[in-house]
Amino acid sequence: MKYSHIGKSINRVDAVEKVTGQARFIADIKFPNSLTVRLLRSPYAHALIKTVSTFNADKIPGVLKIVTGKDIQYKSGTIINDINIMASEKVRFAGEIIAAVIAESEEIADLALDKIKVEFDELPAVLDVYEAIKTDAPLVHDDIASNIFHHYKLRKGDMYSGFKNSHIIIANEFSVPHLSHVQLETHGCAARWSPEGMLELTSSSQSPFIVREYLAKIMKLPQSKVRVHIPYVGGGFGGKSDLTIEPLIACLARFVPGRWVRLILTREEAFYGTVLGRGMKGKIKTGVSKDGTIMAEEIKMYFNAGAYGDFCIPIISGGGQNSPGPYSCSNIKVDSYGVYTNTPFVGAFRGYGHPEGNWMKERQLDIIAHKLSMDPIDIRLKNCWKLSDVNHIGQRVTGAASKIDTCIKKAAKAIGWNKNRSHVRKGTKIYAQGISCFMKSPVMATNATSCAAVKLNPDGSLNLSVGTIDIGQGSLTALTQICAERIQLPLEKINISRETDTDFSPYEWQTVASRGTWSVGNAIINACDDAIKKIKINAALAFDVNRDDIIYKDAHVYVKGKSSRKIPIKKLCNGYTFKDGSTKGCYAAGNGSFIPFISRPDPSTGMGNVAAEWTGGCQAVELHIDTQTGHVHIDKFVTVIDAGKIINPSLAKGQITGAVVQGLGSALFEKIIYSHEGRIRNDHLTDYKIPTIKDFADTIMEVHFIETHEDNAPFGARCLGEHGIVSVPSVVANAISTATQIDFFDLPIIPDKLLSELDRKRLNDV
Amino acid sequence: MFNNFDYCAPETLIELLNILGTKKSSSILAGGTDLLVNIRSGKLKPKNVIDIKKIKSLNTIKKVKHGIEIGASVTMNDISRSPHFTGPYSVLKQSASVMGCFEIRNRATIAGNIINASPGAETLTPLSVLQAELIIQSRSTTRTSHVSEFIKGVNKTALKNNELLTSVLLPSYPPDTKGIYMRRQRVKGMDLASINCCLLIINPGKLSKREVRFSLGTVATVPYRSKKAENILSYSKIDTNSINEAADIINSEISPRASSMRATPEYKRSMVRHFLKTGIQRILGGPF
């Protein structure tokens, strides 16, 4: 198929606005007469609040209101609603909000904040999942009998007979620490209640319609009376999805109707005052036959959800569901638990449960291959999904999901995989390669709808509106390309709305799960078709023929068989005007929606038509380790992914490369460090290290696309976004283990750990 | 949040020392790269902030009779760009040019880096091996000090409230003296040193006159020099054994903080040996 706009690396439509600083983010917006908020947060990870004394701080001129937990009766969340917007009786993590001061200025708010005194009764805190599931562990929530608040089960085949028929059985334990998203833009929100009881809110959210639905529900307002506006957003990675500070700001604004209440989080608050990512300890036991076929697998995952579990539930289920990876196995038992602890709570983070399972499974495969003296590539080729396989949740493997083997072979070729070479020493350096596969499904609600609206203008140009947010991933550009291709207009005639507003924008579930191009793209195609249908209605009137005889091509219409007389669509956008001025027909605005067909899993087996699609691939790395310093240098990193048709190769490559670099951070540097008492010690960029521009500047980054056409998708495009991060830690660790002959089970692999393991091995080897 | 404070920016040193002598609870503002961070975090709540950037005499690097004199408000980037820091003095330039990021180096000053007295301060290990003289003035007195006696602990110095560190004097050395500054960091971009050190070898070519100095950052509360280890390496042949012996001595003398988020004590001890080996190898030729 020859396309005009699809598959072309056009420049981002928002490039100039962003590089010239014109793009407007929430911190750039002046809210007239706005009030500021300062928050009093708990220094303790677990404590009863005895008293909160405000000592007339609300009498300070310029202080409008001091709000404490007792003033807010709502809880936050979208599933089990267990999140206290503000603590009233007990605090469950260090950083939890106890009081808020609403004042005319930060200086005044600080004066008031200093006056507020809280008396606590400190309770023992529990930070580790294995500690938290012990019977005598302190309970984070007293209303349930243990700290386990969610359990996802996957039961397929007969695990016991599978193990019985195995040649070897290997069991290992793994862990992934809590991480922070570190978006360039910290979270911001401003809200105002109008005198007639409408709520207006501007936020840096990825999920305006979730925010609207939630606020309307708790405030008992029709959704039409809650307006959520999203300007440009400076990075999300899942950390701005669902709800973050919006419930708090909406509740605070209610105390001062008519005034805007605005809060932009500090970097420190972005660590403990929003959501963290990952945090899992797990066990994997795998039985394989002599030839390396996976016979049975038992996986246990304990997700450290922190103090509140609501946003973690789909991560726990989705993470468990996808933990076996893109491999066939007839006998699987997965138990994935959500565990409360006294840390800040966890939410979505790029990868959404998949990197945790991948870390265990892909390391495990290398360990097994080593035991069987098999090549890591061969064990993967042997077990990976093939066309028509029934996967672990009972779905049949079709199309692009069946091309894992192609991806493995291509990745091996690109990295120059040498079967006979395990590692190479050059002086004080050891070189090695690693390989890992990945797959991800969009874990989402069963009614995760996307909508789009196109409005053809009387000059033949077009306005496109969607409810998805460009959080940096480039959706504004890719979606413009899809629209241009379908409506057959030049790109420069199309303008996509830069900001999203629930009052004007089409509905969108939320900007998560890498699904924008695929899901919103489908909605745009439907919207374009709807507009074309209206053009044809007008054209039929103009030509006085049957609508079915109208051909739409290159922004013109003509009657079938009579292409010599064409009418440009600009004459048909606003009905059709006859010579005498009379106008008939309709306005050519199109609406489209897309609802994926999925259902909930069977609660007893965890299986079912759960995943709308699977996108997978393979990553390979060549790296070297400095045995004197423990430094790991990534020489080359290859990603091969079958994401169907690629709409914009340059942006798609950018998404993968960004995900790889973020993944390298979690493989080699990143970790939230807690004090014994449960406070985050590195709640700042001085000691929470993410990769800098210099770290992988000399790494050869290759991204290869296998473009297997996906049916019922915009020009055959599938999901792409998070996928690049899923197997980065495992592929790096696989290479490090090949280099050092030491297995690593915990992330990140910092030089200190690597060097001490190397020293231990040197001593043992002597 | 910032508390209110009085700000003044005197234009002469005398004026400044007079103010320091009379106003209590004063903080000196030079580059502000530590002061502003400390005010924001609430660690410091100064009543007076005295800006020294308008005093021109504090902002110069000059060759003097017995070395080089660096004014208090000379920035890291001034040092990086200056032609004066060659030979023995190159170690200061090496350290100044990796501190923070370019923007920070445009602001951060030599005196600020010394007075902040961070255990991993970039310039303290070079100043310690160069045995720099710190010139300290008050309204009525002028005194000198060395890093070893001036730095008292983490963020603690021997500077009195009414005193200003006005300049740093680097003494002269035989011209073939060589030095090297080394550090480990977690990421390649802006990062504090997980561990840093400076090695100086005076008269590297003449065994009988060869003196080895080695200062380490982040292994103790102050820049650490082991006289015993330096003695083993000075005035005698250096080989793998003597380097290992020196490293063993240092490692037995230091007790790095176990709670550091930047490097474990075990890692720091490994790096002591690594720094000594590679530093000596790069200056004298190796391998060791």
What does the DSSP assignment read for B229-267?
HHHHHTTS---HHHHHHHHHHHHHH----TT-SS--HHH
β-pairing, A562-568 with A556-559? antiparallel
Look up residue A577 and give its amino acid.
T
What are residue A459's DSSP bridge partners?
none
In this prediction, the residues of chain A whose per-residue pLDDT falls under 70 are: none
For residues A666 and A749, give the distance between their C-alpha atoms in angstroms, rounded to a whole number. Answer: 9
Place of tokens 């089409």: A506
What are residue B69's DSSP bridge partners?
B62, B169
Residue A242: per-residue pLDDT: 96
Residue A401: per-residue pLDDT: 84
Among A72, A70, A438, which residue's Cα sits nearest to residue A255? A72
Q: Check CB contact under 8 Å for A756 and B266.
A: yes
Q: Is the dihedral of CA A24, A25, A27, A30 positive or negative?
A: positive
A41 — contact with chain B (CB < 8 Å)? no
| Structural contact between residues A481 and A488, judged by C-beta atoms closer than 8 angstroms | no
CA-nearest residue to A682 within chain B is B261
Q: Check CB contact under 8 Å for B186 and A750.
A: yes
Tokens for A586, please give them: 């309709």
What are residue A103's DSSP bridge partners?
A36, A63
- Contact list, A43 vs chain B (CB under 8 Å): none
How many CB pairs below 8 Å do chains A and B form together? 48
Q: Check CB contact under 8 Å for B263 and A752.
A: yes
Angstrom distances, CA of residue A216 to CA of A194, A210, A239: 14, 10, 22
Residue B1: per-residue pLDDT: 54
Start-to-end C-alpha separation, chain B: 53
φ/ψ region of A197 (left if φ > 0, alpha if ψ in -120 to 50, else beta) reads: left
Residue A351: per-residue pLDDT: 97
Residue-averaged pLDDT of chain A: 96
Burial class (CB in 10 A: 0-12, 13-18, 19+), A29: middle
A134 — contact with chain B (CB < 8 Å)? no
Of B184, B188, B263, the CB nearest to A692: B188
Q: What is the dihedral of CA A139, A142, A147, A149, to 10 degrees?
A: -170
Interface of B with A in 139-198 (CB under 8 A): 184, 186-192
Distance from CA of B31 to the nearest CA of A (A): 19
Phi/psi for B166 (5° steps) reads -90, -35
A689 — contact with chain B (CB < 8 Å)? yes
β-pairing, B26-29 with B48-51? parallel
Among A534, A521, A685, A701, which residue's Cα sits nearest to residue A619? A701
Interface of B with A in 234-263 (CB under 8 A): 261-263
Q: Which contiguous run of DSSP H or E holds residue A641?
A: strand A632-642
Residue B2: per-residue pLDDT: 65
What are residue A283's DSSP bridge partners?
A173, A300
**Close Cβ partners of A681 (under 8 Å, ≥ 6 residues apart):** A673, A674, A675, A687, B261
DSSP state of B194: S
For residues A365 and A286, give the distance between their C-alpha atoms in angstroms, rounded to a whole number. Answer: 9
For residues A362 and A383, give the distance between their C-alpha atoms in angstroms, rounded to a whole number. Answer: 12
Place of tokens 């999925």: A598
- Contact list, B274 vs chain A (CB under 8 Å): 628-629
Q: Check CB contact under 8 Å for A107 and B1.
A: yes
Query: pLDDT digits over A70-115, tens only?
Result: 999 899 999 999 999 999 999 999 999 999 999 999 999 999 999 9
For residues A212 and A191, give the distance between their C-alpha atoms in angstroms, rounded to a whole number. Answer: 12
For residues A109 and A100, give the distance between their C-alpha atoms in angstroms, rounded to a whole number. Answer: 9
Angle at A655 between CA A654 and CA A657, to 5 degrees: 65
Give the best residue of A666, A675, A687, A752 to mutate against chain B (max B CB count within 10 A). Answer: A752
Distance from CA of A630 to the nearest CA of B (A): 9
Tokens for A49, please give them: 């609040």
**Close Cβ partners of A13 (under 8 Å, ≥ 6 residues apart):** A476, A477, A480, A496
Angle at A233 between CA A232 and CA A234, to 5 degrees: 120
Q: Check CB contact under 8 Å for A682 and B261.
A: yes
CA A83 and chain centroid, separation: 20
Q: Check CB contact under 8 Å for A629 and B266.
A: no
For residues B168 and B79, give the distance between their C-alpha atoms in angstroms, rounded to a whole number. Answer: 12
Residue A764: per-residue pLDDT: 83
CA-nearest residue to A670 within chain B is B186
Q: Which contiguous run of DSSP H or E holds residue B178?
A: strand B178-184
| Structural contact between residues A202 and A235, judged by C-beta atoms closer than 8 angstroms | no
| Structural contact between residues A525 and A592, judged by C-beta atoms closer than 8 angstroms | yes
Q: Check CB contact under 8 Å for B267 and A752.
A: yes
Distance from CA of B187 to the nearest CA of A (A): 6
What are residue A153's DSSP bridge partners?
A335
| Structural contact between residues B65 and B25, judged by C-beta atoms closer than 8 angstroms | no
DSSP string for A596-615: ----PPPTTT--SS--S--E
For residue B287, is the peptide bond before it cis, meaning its omega torsion is within 30 degrees of 0?
yes
A682 — contact with chain B (CB < 8 Å)? yes
Look up residue B265 and give its amino acid.
P
Tokens for A361, please give them: 């499974």
For residues B110 and B107, give the distance between their C-alpha atoms in angstroms, rounded to a whole number. Answer: 10
- The yes-or-no verdict on residue B174 having pLDDT over 80 is yes
- Contact list, A40 vs chain B (CB under 8 Å): none
A105 — contact with chain B (CB < 8 Å)? no
Tokens for A206, please give them: 């990825």
For residues A764 and B189, give the distance between their C-alpha atoms in angstroms, rounded to a whole number. Answer: 36
- Contact list, A686 vs chain B (CB under 8 Å): 192
For residues A287 and A310, give the distance between their C-alpha atoms in angstroms, rounded to a whole number. Answer: 34
For residues A575 and A569, give the distance between their C-alpha atoms in angstroms, rounded to a whole number. Answer: 10
Phi/psi for B170 (5° steps) reads -95, 120
For residues A303 and A419, give the distance between their C-alpha atoms in angstroms, rounded to a whole number. Answer: 36
| Structural contact between residues A299 and A334, judged by C-beta atoms closer than 8 angstroms | yes
Of B187, B188, B266, the CB nearest to A752: B266
For residues B85 and B65, give the distance between their C-alpha atoms in angstroms, rounded to a whole number. Answer: 15
Distance from CA of A694 to the nearest CA of B (A): 6
- Would you call A542 helix, strand, or coil by DSSP? helix
Q: A222-234: b or e for each residue (b if 16 or more CB lie within 10 Å)?
A: eeebbbbbbbbbb
Tokens for A657, please give them: 């490369």
Query: pLDDT digits over A431-440, tens only?
Result: 999 999 999 9
Distance from CA of A323 to the nearest CA of B (A): 31
B274 — contact with chain A (CB < 8 Å)? yes
Residue-averaged pLDDT of chain B: 96
Would you tell me how many other CB atoms lie within 10 Å of the CB of residue A163?
17
Residues B172-189: what's their mean pLDDT?
Answer: 96
Angstrom distances, CA of residue B79 to CA of A280, B34, B75: 47, 19, 6
Residue A671: per-residue pLDDT: 98
Residue B4: per-residue pLDDT: 86
Give the best residue of B39, B43, B190, B261 to mutate against chain A (max A CB count within 10 A). Answer: B261
A628 — contact with chain B (CB < 8 Å)? yes
Of B188, B261, B267, the CB nearest to A687: B261
Angle at A678 between CA A674 and CA A680, to 5 degrees: 45
Interface of A with B in 335-394 (CB under 8 A): none
CA-nearest residue to B40 within chain A is A266
For residues A474 and A422, give the distance between their C-alpha atoms in angstroms, rounded to a whole number. Answer: 39
Would you tell me how many other CB atoms lie within 10 Å of the CB of residue A178?
24
For residues A468 and A471, give the distance between their C-alpha atoms in angstroms, rounded to a whole number. Answer: 9
- For A195-259, give the secondary structure using H, E and C: CCCCEEEEECCCCHHHHHHHHHHHHCCCHHHEEEEECECCCCCCCCCCCCCHHHHHHHHHCCCCC
Among B235, B193, B237, which residue's Cα sits nearest to residue B215? B193
